């Protein structure tokens, strides 16, 4: 496969232009080399692992010239395929499994020769040696005759042997104690000894062991499997139904088929997305309406002001007509200084500079106040008042509860004036300078102050 073909396939598969594919390939190569040079391994799950490996320096002899050559150490790249990839590669050998040709024979431990440690039953191990003294014909007869009767074996023990080795051997256990060797020296002694079941049991496994035949080399050769005859499963990579695959095996890499697949896939995605989005849009619209209503109501009640007439500084909630007092012509002034008023007397001086010297006379009966504005928000009221205070008016905030207007109102007032005329003069000036549309002059007791 050439460079162009591969990159074209890549561009189609990834849905990018050919130039982008070329760029991607170059950058990928650079990055691969950089990462491998730094000593890191690149492990991509589902594909494999690229690792840097050091080939050691070595010496070789050139057979032509007979000169020694040094080959320097060198880094090479090793690729270890991932398990999934190697399974895909080995898919036709999937059914094959290792065949056991020979089982490992069980390890036999050699018994110790120490006779002193032998018990009576273990002495049976040495029976094969004893067998040498027995007529085999007799043995065969007895074993064949009947096992129900007590099998009796005849032992022929040479006297000479017994004389020489009187130390305890396995044979001695079979000799009956009654027989004395001294009386019959030259004659052979026939001793009848019952053979215990232990010895019978010992023979059987031996026979079986002998029957166990080890497979010969020729058998092994026959065992070899002809792997070619084993059915190979279909080479199915793309997980398509097999009927389709048989029709278009060669078209796997055709562009037309890929295009179709992509088209179908994208169409499905669109459908699914449309289905999913519908109810969400409804919910979102309902939520928007709800939020809009809340904002509208808040604006209506004046908690926030986003549109309409500005409620801030310029818009003023005016005092209810009930409280407006149309003051009657000036009341008789009493020139008495109330002891309680001493602290507050200074205020009118500060308030209006021009009239401060004149307004020193506090009245006992009534005080007059100019109401400039009223707010439902305390902060707004206080800022408004502080603005006025900077300009030289003695402004203050008064809290009032008005039931029919819905809650607390903060009234910004300027005060206190002893006579209504003073108040009216300042009110007119306020109208001119501060451009406040409506100003009320009202009567108020001094104790109301903050």
Partner 1 sequence: MNKSDLVNLLSKDLKWSKAKTERVLDAFLGLVSEIVLKKKKLNLFKFGVFTIKHRASRSGRNPKTGEELILPPKDYVHFKPSKSLVDLING
Would you tell me which residues interact with partner 1 (CB under 8 A)?
Answer: 1, 3, 6, 9-10, 13-16, 20-21, 23-24, 27-33, 35-37, 40-48, 50, 52, 74-79, 81, 85-86, 88-90, 93, 96-104, 223-225, 227, 235, 237, 252-253
Q: How far is the CB of 56 from partner 1 (least distance, A)?
A: 14
Nearer to partner 1, 228 or 322 (CB): 228
| Angle 254-247-234 from CA coordinates, rounded to 5° | 100
In sequence order, what are the beta bridge partners of 190? 156
Q: How far is the CB of 24 from partner 1 (least distance, A)?
A: 5
Please give the distance of CA 62 from its chain centroid, rounded to a whole number: 58
Nearer to partner 1, 57 or 179 (CB): 57
Q: How far is the CB of 64 from partner 1 (least distance, A)?
A: 24
Nearer to partner 1, 42 or 170 (CB): 42
How far is Cα 264 from Cα 257, in angstroms, rounded to an integer?
Answer: 11
Cβ-proximal residues to 199 (8 Å cutoff; 6+ apart), any chain:
124, 127
Nearer to partner 1, 91 or 345 (CB): 91
Of 116, 26, 40, 126, nearest to 77 by C-alpha is 40
Q: How far is the CB of 77 from partner 1 (least distance, A)?
A: 4
Nearer to partner 1, 35 or 134 (CB): 35
How far is Cα 337 from Cα 360, in angstroms, rounded to an integer?
Answer: 10
Burial degree of 331 (CB within 10 A; 0-12, 13-18, 19+)? middle
Nearer to partner 1, 179 or 232 (CB): 232
Nearer to partner 1, 11 or 400 (CB): 11
How far is Cα 345 from Cα 378, in angstroms, rounded to an integer?
Answer: 26
How far is Cα 124 from Cα 196, in angstroms, rounded to an integer?
Answer: 9
Nearer to partner 1, 269 or 296 (CB): 269
Q: How far is the CB of 209 from partner 1 (least distance, A)?
A: 19
Nearer to partner 1, 180 or 226 (CB): 226
Backbone angles phi, psi at 251, to 5 degrees: -90, 10
In sequence order, what are the beta bridge partners of 400? 409
| Residue 182 backbone zone (phi > 0: left; psi -120 to 50: alpha; other: beta) | alpha
Asked if 62 contacts 69 with a C-beta cutoff of 8 angstroms, the reply is: yes
Q: How far is the CB of 178 from partner 1 (least distance, A)?
A: 53
Nearer to partner 1, 13 or 58 (CB): 13
DSSP string, 173-238: GGS-TT--TTT-SSSPEEEEEEPPHHHHHHHHHHHHHHH-PPPPHHHHHHH---GGGSPPPP--SS
Nearer to partner 1, 226 or 339 (CB): 226
How far is Cα 350 from Cα 445, in angstroms, rounded to an integer?
Answer: 20
Count of Cβ atoms closer than 10 Å to residue 302 Cβ: 15
Q: How far is the CB of 275 from partner 1 (least distance, A)?
A: 24
Q: How far is the CB of 100 from partner 1 (least distance, A)?
A: 5
Which strands form 407-417's sheet, in the order they lie side by side?
395-402, 407-417, 367-375, 440-444
Backbone angles phi, psi at 95, to 5 degrees: -80, -15
How far is Cα 80 from Cα 70, in angstroms, rounded to an integer?
Answer: 29
Q: Which helix (H) or strand (E) holds 262?
A: helix 255-301
Nearer to partner 1, 83 or 378 (CB): 83
């Amino acid at each position: 496969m050439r460079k162009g073909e591969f990159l074209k396939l890549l561009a189609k598969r990834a849905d990018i232009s050919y130039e982008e594919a070329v760029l991607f390939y170059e950058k990928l190569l650079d990055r691969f080399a950089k990462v491998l040079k730094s000593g890191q391994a690149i492990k991509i799950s589902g594909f494999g692992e690229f690792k840097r490996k050091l080939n050691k320096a070595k010496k070789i002899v050139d057979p032509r010239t007979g000169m020694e050559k040094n080959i320097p150490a060198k880094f090479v790249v090793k690729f270890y395929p991932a398990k999934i990839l190697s399974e895909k590669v080995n898919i036709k050998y999937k059914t094959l499994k290792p065949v056991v040709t020979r089982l490992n024979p069980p390890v036999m431990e050699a018994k110790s020769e120490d006779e002193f440690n032998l018990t009576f039953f273990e002495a049976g191990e040495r029976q094969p040696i004893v067998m040498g003294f027995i007529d085999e014909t007799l043995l065969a007869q007895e074993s064949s005759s009947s096992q129900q009767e007590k099998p009796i074996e005849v032992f022929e023990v040479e006297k000479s042997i017994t004389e020489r080795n009187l130390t305890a051997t396995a044979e001695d256990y079979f000799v009956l104690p009654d027989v004395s060797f001294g009386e019959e020296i030259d004659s052979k002694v026939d001793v009848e000894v019952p053979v215990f079941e232990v010895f019978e049991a010992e023979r059987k496994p031996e026979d079986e062991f002998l029957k166990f035949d080890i497979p010969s080399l020729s058998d092994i050769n026959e065992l070899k499997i002809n792997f070619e005859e084993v059915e190979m499963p279909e080479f199915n990579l793309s997980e398509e139904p097999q009927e389709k695959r048989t029709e278009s095996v060669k078209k796997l890499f055709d562009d037309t088929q890929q295009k179709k697949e992509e088209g179908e896939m994208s169409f499905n995605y669109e459908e699914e997305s449309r289905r999913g989005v519908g109810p969400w849009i409804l919910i979102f619209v309902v939520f928007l309406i709800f939020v809009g209503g809340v904002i509208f109501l808040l604006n209506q009640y004046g908690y926030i002001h986003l549109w309409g007439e500005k409620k801030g500084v310029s818009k003023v909630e005016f005092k209810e007509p009930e409280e407006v007092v149309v003051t009657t012509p000036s009341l008789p002034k009493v020139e008495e200084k109330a002891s309680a008023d001493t602290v507050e007397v200074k205020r009118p001086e500060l308030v209006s500079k021009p009239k401060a010297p004149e307004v020193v006379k506090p009245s006992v009966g009534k005080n007059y106040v100019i109401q400039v504005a009223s707010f439902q928000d305390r902060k707004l009221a206080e800022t408004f008042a502080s603005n006025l205070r900077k300009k030289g008016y003695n402004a203050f905030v008064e809290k009032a509860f008005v039931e029919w207007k819905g809650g607390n109102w903060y009234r910004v007032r300027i005060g206190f004036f002893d006579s209504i005329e003073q108040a009216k003069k300042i009110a007119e000036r306020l109208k001119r300078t501060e451009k406040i549309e409506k100003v009320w002059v009202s009567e108020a007791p001094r104790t109301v102050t903050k």
